[in-house]
Amino acid sequence: MASKKIQSALISVYYKDNLEPIIALLKKHGVKIYSTGGTQKFIEEQGAEVIPVEELTSYPSIFGGRVKTLHPKIFGGILYRRENEGDVAQAAEYDIPAIDLVIVDLYPFEETVASGASEADIIEKIDIGGISLIRAAAKNFKDVIIIASKNQYGELEAKLEAQDGATTIEDRRYFAAQAFQVSSNYDTHIFNYFNRAENIPALKVSESKAKALRYGENPHQAAHFYGNLEDLFDQLNGKELSYNNLVDVDAAVNLIAEFPDQTAFAILKHTNACGCATADTVKEAYQKAFAADTTSAFGGVLVTNQTVDQEAAEEMNSLFFEVLIAPE
């Protein structure tokens, strides 16, 4: 499994929540720690010894913190191939120490944009050193393990506990994949911010939140919804939605939107309208829509653009349907 004991680590993070157990484990296993600024101070407060990055590079943090870790002694220590004789010789020639673990996260660009901050503040939250460290460590996953998000601290802690401070090639490849997910998501948000003004004809979408649906297009298939489903509607009752339910919901909502000034009701099955009608009340509109195809309506999706009152609810109660969509 190509297990490797972690002997050195570079830690430079924006979020320090739940980092303490990892620091304790690294200290326990005698891992040499390099760090910067606020992270260095935090680690020292945990009782662990830290070598400042400036001591390794012989350069201070410059340009208002824009350049801290961008140096051959940092990136060389991450990227040199431990089994390549030429790389090993060059590392020795230039006194470049190996770095086996990189823990780094990124400036909160997306959150800064969402806060309504000025463009100057937003630009300063475009991470350069962090994103470069992530890509470098992920590229050299054969030798280095990369932790690119505070959400992975728990996983790393569990592995270090279970494997006596070592990682396997499977561990390192897994975290490398996670790291590239983090970096690609970050770059997507930066591009989309700039493209608000530039209108480059390109679509970049990155969603990390996924909800498992009851099943896919067919019962034996799996399906997921990416994004925040709760932002679209409130599910008041009933079982988990399936892929087909969501497709029908989307078709139903788009159909009922065609009647903004009338009380309307529609019944859909597999995205096709079994019936659609307008009337003075929800009950009457439902009765008309149902009368259009009383057979296909069974197990369908019902939608109206008005609040469902008791009379309408009692009328619908005799029909088995999958979903009812209505405003409050």
Active site residues: 139, 270
Residues 6+ apart with CB under 8 A from 326: 303, 304, 305, 306, 307, 308
What φ, ψ does residue 216 adopt, rounded to 5°?
A: -90, -150
Tokens describing residue 275? 């019936």
**What is the secondary structure of 20-52 as a DSSP string?**
HHHHHHHHHTT-EEEE-HHHHHHHHHTT---EE
Tokens describing residue 310? 């008791």
**β partners of residue 273:** 268
Helix (H/G/I), strand (E/B), else coil: 179: helix
Spatial separation of the C-alpha atoms in residues 211 and 33, rounded to whole Å:
38
CA atoms within 13 Å, Cβ hemisphere of 80:
22
8 A C-beta contact, residue 10 and residue 78: yes
Dihedral of CA atoms 70, 76, 77, 78 in degrees, nearest 10, equals 80
